[in-house]
């Protein structure tokens, strides 16, 4: 007895040539994908070659007497040899002197990746040949290779990876189609990898079917539109998740190096990174924020005027929270007397040029700055720089990329915060209930006591200055509190008090609420605003600014006569979390050009490139439809053969009846999953089914006898056995199973 026959996990069944070649191709592709981001081109080629050689030898090794448990140590030895070869190549003075340091490094990488891929391919192919479950590891490795190659693109950068996206963008194309094609090819090779058929024709049939499905997906997507991402997912085409992008709000605190300047004119504080903020109509306190999607781009802002904010940060306001509900601040509602609050917040996207009510306008302390906002993700309302005074629609040059575009004219601060000192807070024209609305807060006396303590350090000439009081509050919070996403105050009856009079550790929602409550305890009209806050350096010298969920933020604002609602942010000097990275400069520039409607192709070659791309698309569609028609023709032909094999017993001459009648019943068995095993004789097959289908034994004997030249075959007995066999099959196999078998055009290929 052979070693393989004693190991039930092994299989010596052969594969058709197409399956073997497909597996070797998959190993080559997997090795190349895993090595590509880590090594030079030579290392990628070496990894692909090593994986192929290892996979080919692994199939042979699976048939030897080597025990399966020994494959693991064999892999470890191979990887150790790979590391040793690289060290020898890179660390050898003689080799470095002969080849040069750069060439020695390339040789070392090629040896390491090639040997490592050989050892890995040898071990994995050996185990997958003996145990079918190891095929799952093959699929996982291939999937990981494809995923890590396109991971940067999925993170929101349509220009990543550069090697794939750059040539397409340079030609004026959309990298989306390249990644769709990569996904289709990945699906195809996974199908090839999982093929378990041992027949060449059946394997070929499965490959053709997989190609047809992928062709239908690729070419149908152009006619019926790209699939839309589900609600709440990051999605194709740079859409942030719905909850994270409906934000203009909240909890984000990106880098706060430029919070409102205190009276001495300095912008104190250190950066604080944001979590994924809540929706802009919900400023609920939360514990242990997750920032899994905070780097997904959500909008691009085009500046039509240069502007350097005195606060040291660009603030894009989307929402405001000014009504105290006994626990926190919520969006204000109209009072019973008809008084309205926070009317300077635009509630709908503009269909035409629209003035924003109660905006500060062009006062002596403000000037106008025009911007255009291109949304990459859904938002529940428009946002604009500082204090928007006018909104209007804008032409969208790329609706596939940008969900909406609109223009904003904003009244931005033109004076320094020093000039605000001495001004009166609030609006003298406000009725009493409006004053009460913007100064209402918790009844806890600790807020007022702490606020008085904060302002007591001011110089004598500022002791009665409400604006200076507000400055003192935000400076004290920035100096004494610590920024952290891992705060735990949400379950408290008053989360702000739990933060302020507790460990003083929280994120921007805690800081903003604390500042507003302290200001209101001193009678200063204030509110919490939400939106995006970005350091001006993020523009990196250009006129486009990329916003992501990482820029979401909540900040306090006070109302100053002649200035309107003014940002007075807290800049924590102590932070537990690292600041977010700067936006990708290339992506910011690219999206800015797309939002302006500029072509990425040089003007002198635009027409040629567009004509060439049109020709490519035309021929691609023709080839695609030709493949689909070929698949359809094959399906029709398969069904025709299937029907003919079923009706043949009723029309063929009597001398052919033993064979075609037996063949028809074999087809019925194949449709319900009962087929003859490889190497199993027809008589053994009939004996295996005798308990469930005894009539099939007589059919088999009659067929075998006729095939070997029996003098006489009782045809009436064969028909009777066939009828009894069909009756047994109907009684033992459910109707739905037989119906599915009939709909399978390839079932007759499995009958033998």
Q: Domain ranges for the chain, please list them.
A: 3-224, 242-596, 630-750
Q: Which CATH class is domain 242-596?
A: alpha beta
Choose among 499, 506, 479: nearest CA to 275.
Answer: 506
Q: Which two tokens stand for residue 413?
A: 């601060």
SS3 content of the chain, % helix, strand, coil (to 5): 50, 10, 40
Strand residue runs (E) in 343-476: 354-355, 366-375, 384-385, 387-393, 404-413
Q: What is the DSSP letter of 388?
A: E
pLDDT for position 611: 64
Cα(430)–Cα(418) distance, rounded to whole angstroms? 25
Cα(674)–Cα(751) distance, rounded to whole angstroms? 9
pLDDT for position 423: 93
353-364 residues labelled b (16+ CB within 10 A) or e (exposed): ebebebbbeeee
Omega before 161 cis (within 30°)? yes
Residues 119, 113 contacting (CB under 8 angstroms): no
Residues 536, 308 contacting (CB under 8 angstroms): yes
Cα(236)–Cα(168) distance, rounded to whole angstroms? 17
Q: Which two tokens stand for residue 688?
A: 């295996």
pLDDT for position 29: 76
Residues composing the chain: 752
6-28 residues labelled b (16+ CB within 10 A) or e (exposed): eeeebeeeebbebbeebbbbbbb
Degrees (nearest 5) of the Cα angle 513, 275, 531? 60
Cα(675)–Cα(693) distance, rounded to whole angstroms? 13
Residue ranges for the chain with pLDDT beneath 70: 1-19, 22, 37, 39, 96, 132-133, 135-136, 139-140, 142-282, 289-294, 336, 362-363, 598-613, 711
Residues 180, 624 contacting (CB under 8 angstroms): no
Q: What is the dihedral of CA 684, 685, 686, 690, to 10 degrees?
A: 100
Sign of CA dihedral 380, 382, 388, 389: negative
Residues 195, 208 contacting (CB under 8 angstroms): no
Q: H or E stretch including 554? A: strand 552-560
Residues 329, 321 contacting (CB under 8 angstroms): yes
SS in 3 state form for 643-683?
HHHHHHHHCCCHHHHHHHHHHHHHHHHHHCCCCCCCCCCHH
pLDDT for position 499: 95
Q: What is the pTM of this model?
A: 0.55
Degrees (nearest 5) of the Cα angle 548, 550, 555? 110
Residues 531, 299 contacting (CB under 8 angstroms): no
pLDDT in tens, 135-165: 667 766 766 666 555 554 444 455 555 555 6
pLDDT for position 224: 42
Q: Which two tokens stand for residue 41?
A: 């081109």
Q: What is the DSSP letter of 495?
A: H
Cα(255)–Cα(551) distance, rounded to whole angstroms? 8
């Amino acid at each position: 007895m052979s070693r393989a026959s004693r190991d039930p996990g092994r299989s010596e069944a052969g594969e058709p040539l197409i399956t073997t070649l497909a597996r070797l191709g998959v190993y080559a592709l997997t090795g190349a994908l895993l090595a590509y981001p880590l090594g030079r081109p030579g290392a990628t080629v070496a990894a692909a070659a090593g994986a192929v050689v290892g996979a080919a030898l692994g199939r042979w090794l699976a048939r030897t007497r080597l025990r399966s448990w020994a494959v693991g140590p064999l892999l470890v030895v191979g990887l150790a040899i790979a590391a040793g070869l690289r060290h020898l190549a890179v660390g050898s003075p003689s080799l470095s002197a002969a080849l040069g340091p750069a060439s020695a490094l390339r040789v070392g990488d090629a040896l390491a990746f090639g040997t490592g891929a050989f050892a890995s391919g040898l071990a994995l192919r050996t185990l997958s040949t003996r145990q079918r479950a190891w095929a799952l590891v093959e699929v996982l490795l291939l999937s990981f290779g494809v995923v890590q190659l396109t991971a940067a693109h999925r993170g929101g950068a349509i220009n990543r990876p550069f090697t794939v996206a750059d040539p397409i963008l340079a030609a004026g194309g959309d990298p989306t189609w390249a990644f769709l094609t990569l996904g289709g090819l990945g699906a195809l090779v996974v199908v090839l990898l999982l093929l378990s058929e041992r027949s060449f024709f059946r394997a070929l049939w499965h490959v053709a079917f997989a190609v047809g499905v992928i062709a239908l997906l690729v070419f149908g997507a152009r006619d019926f539109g790209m699939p839309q991402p589900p609600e709440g997912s990051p999605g194709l085409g740079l859409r942030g998740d719905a909850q994270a992008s409906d934000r203009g709000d909240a909890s984000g605190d990106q880098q706060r190096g430029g919070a409102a300047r205190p009276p001495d004119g300095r912008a104190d504080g250190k950066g604080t990174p944001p979590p994924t903020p809540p929706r802009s109509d919900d400023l609920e306190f939360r514990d242990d924020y997750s920032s899994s999607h905070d780097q997904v781009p959500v909008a691009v802002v085009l500046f039509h005027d240069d502007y350097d904010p005195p606060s040291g940060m660009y603030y894009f306001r989307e929402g405001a929270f000014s009504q105290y509900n006994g626990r926190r601040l919520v969006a204000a509602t109209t009072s019973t007397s008809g008084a309205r609050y926070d009317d300077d917040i635009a509630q709908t996207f503009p269909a035409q040029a629209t003035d924003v009510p109660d905006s500060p306008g062009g006062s002596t302390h403000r000037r106008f700055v025009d911007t255009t906002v291109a949304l990459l993700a859904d938002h529940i309302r428009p946002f604009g720089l500082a204090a928007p005074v006018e909104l209007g629609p804008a032409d969208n040059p790329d609706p596939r990329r940008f969900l909406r575009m609109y223009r904003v004219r904003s009244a931005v601060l033109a004076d320094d915060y020093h000039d605000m000192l001495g001004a009166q807070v609030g609006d003298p024209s406000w009725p009493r209930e409006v004053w009460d609305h913007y100064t209402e807060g918790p009844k806890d006396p600790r807020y007022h006591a702490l606020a008085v303590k904060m302002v007591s350090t001011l110089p004598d000439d500022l002791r009665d200055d409400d604006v200076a009081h507000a400055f003192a509050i935000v400076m004290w919070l920035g100096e004494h509190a610590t920024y952290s996403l891992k705060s735990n105050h949400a379950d408290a009856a008053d989360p702000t008090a739990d933060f302020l009079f507790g460990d003083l550790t929280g994120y921007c929602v805690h800081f903003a609420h604390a500042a507003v409550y302290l200001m209101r305890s001193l009678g200063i009209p204030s509110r919490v605003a939400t939106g995006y806050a970005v350091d001006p350096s993020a523009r990196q010298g250009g006129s486009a600014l990329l916003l992501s969920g990482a820029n979401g933020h909540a900040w306090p604002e006070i109302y100053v006569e002649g200035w309107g609602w003014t940002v007075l942010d807290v800049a924590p000097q102590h932070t537990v979390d690292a600041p977010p990275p700067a936006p990708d400069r290339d992506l910011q520039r690219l999206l800015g050009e797309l939002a302006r409607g500029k072509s990425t192709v040089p003007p002198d070659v635009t027409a040629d490139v567009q004509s060439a791309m049109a020709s490519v698309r035309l021929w691609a569609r023709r080839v695609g439809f030709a493949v689909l028609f070929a698949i359809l023709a094959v399906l029709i032909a398969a069904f025709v053969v299937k029907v003919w094999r079923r009706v043949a017993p009723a029309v063929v001459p009597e001398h052919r009846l033993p064979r075609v009648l037996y063949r028809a019943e074999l087809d019925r068995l194949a449709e319900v999953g009962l087929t003859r095993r490889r190497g199993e004789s027809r008589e053994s097959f009939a004996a295996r089914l005798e308990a469930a289908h005894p009539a099939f034994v007589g059919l088999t004997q009659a067929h075998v006898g006729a095939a070997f030249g029996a003098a006489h075959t009782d045809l009436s007995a064969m028909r009777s056995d066939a009828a009894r066999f069909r009756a047994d099959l109907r009684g033992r196999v459910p109707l739905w199973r037989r119906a599915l078998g009939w709909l399978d055009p390839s079932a007759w290929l499995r009958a033998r």
